[in-house]
Amino acid sequence: IDGNSDVFNKPIMSKTQLEFDPLLLDKLEFSDLSYLLSRGLSKEILNHEKFTGRIFNQRILVNGSERYVNTVFPIFNKEGFCGLDIRNKEYKGSLKGSDKYSGIWISQFDKSRKIDRLYVMESAIDCISHYELLKTKDPECDDNICYIASGGNLNYGQIETLNFFIDRASQRNYKVQKLILAFDNDNAGMRFTTMLMGRILVVDSMVQKEYAKQYPGITHLMFDVVKYPQDVKLIIVGFIDNLKEKKLLQSTIESFLKPDETLIKVDYDNSKEKQDDSYVNIVLTFQDQSSDWQMIIQFIHQLRFDLSSNVDFELPFYKDFNEDLIYFKRYRK
């Protein structure tokens, strides 16, 4: 997932109807910038070393003639390169056979030192847009920044891949110092934030050691988000052995979610407690609306990370960071 990108720099002529093959990379050197330039990105940022080997072109041939050129982003899972996300005007897709369930796009970063900030977003274009905004506002920024994109959706397989990356980074030179969730500014983006908050690997740089030591059961609770037509359910499952942790869980639910004052419903499933009194199964039911999502996100942030600033959030002002970049350039003119 964080290996040498040189393999992606050799041009290979594309074929139509090609399926994914890890030994045959269906892309060219990144020479046609027209699509990404139309999205408001600059040549300077697109050619930045942070994105070397992370953006390519795919030429589609029809009857031997070039029909059009796509922009493609390689995605990676635990084993390495696993597919391509394909983008063009009025087109969004992936190469047939790509592992979209666990594959994520990841930028370049300096592997010789700690990662100061790891951003997780929905699309590679959002990541590149965010970096251009950052470098425009702070040209001298020398932080070691890494970007990861889920490709427009978020699956639990992708969270496993992200956890694999964070775990391996913690054992190497590039340990993640700060995780920033920066999904789209809409309900879907908040759902992805909730999913990731509830499943992200808790490492010592993200939470105070004393908190993790006192509340091991709470920091390892599992949170599942299930969206129904009428409402959303957050299912909390795990094992808590001591009374102190159980009281903290109960008080956090009451103080953050205020079920007596809001429409958030709390159900405690005690059916298995007779067999194991450490078992926890709580279902929170709420509406698919911004205010409820914000409360749920803050609740998980408090419970798993003790509101640590090393796990943070950054919302775009508009829908996503690409829109932010476009409007920023428009108003600056």
Report yes or no: 286 and 259 within 8 Å, Cβ to Cβ: no
Whether 269 is in a domain gets the answer yes
So what's the pLDDT on residue 104?
Answer: 98
CA nearest to 191, candidates 324, 294, 100:
294
Whether 261 is in a domain gets the answer yes
Q: What rounded mean pLDDT belongs to the chain?
A: 89
* Three-state DSSP string of 90-152: CEEEECCCCCCCCCEEECCCCCCCCECEEEEECCHHHHHHHHHHHHHHCCCCCCCEEEEECCC
Whether 163 is in a domain gets the answer no
Q: Crossing angle for the helix pair 156-170 and 187-199, nearest 10 degrees?
A: 50
Q: Which domain holds residue 283?
A: 210-291
So what's the pLDDT on residue 4?
Answer: 44
Q: How confident is the model at residue 271 (pLDDT cuts 50, 70, 90)?
A: low
Whether 283 is in a domain gets the answer yes
Give yes or no for residue 19 having a pLDDT over 60: no
Sheet holding 222-227, edge to edge: 222-227, 232-239, 279-286, 265-268
Whether 258 is in a domain gets the answer yes
So what's the pLDDT on residue 7?
Answer: 39
Whether 217 is in a domain gets the answer yes
Q: How confident is the model at residue 332 (pLDDT cuts 50, 70, 90)?
A: confident
Please give the tally of structural domains in the chain.
1
So what's the pLDDT on residue 146?
Answer: 98
Neighbouring C-beta atoms of residue 194, cutoff 10 Å: 24
Whether 257 is in a domain gets the answer yes
Q: How confident is the model over 22-51, as pLDDT tens digits?
A: 443 544 578 999 999 999 999 999 999 999
Q: How confident is the model over 77-123, as pLDDT tens digits?
A: 999 889 999 999 988 999 888 999 999 999 999 999 999 999 999 99
Whether 183 is in a domain gets the answer no
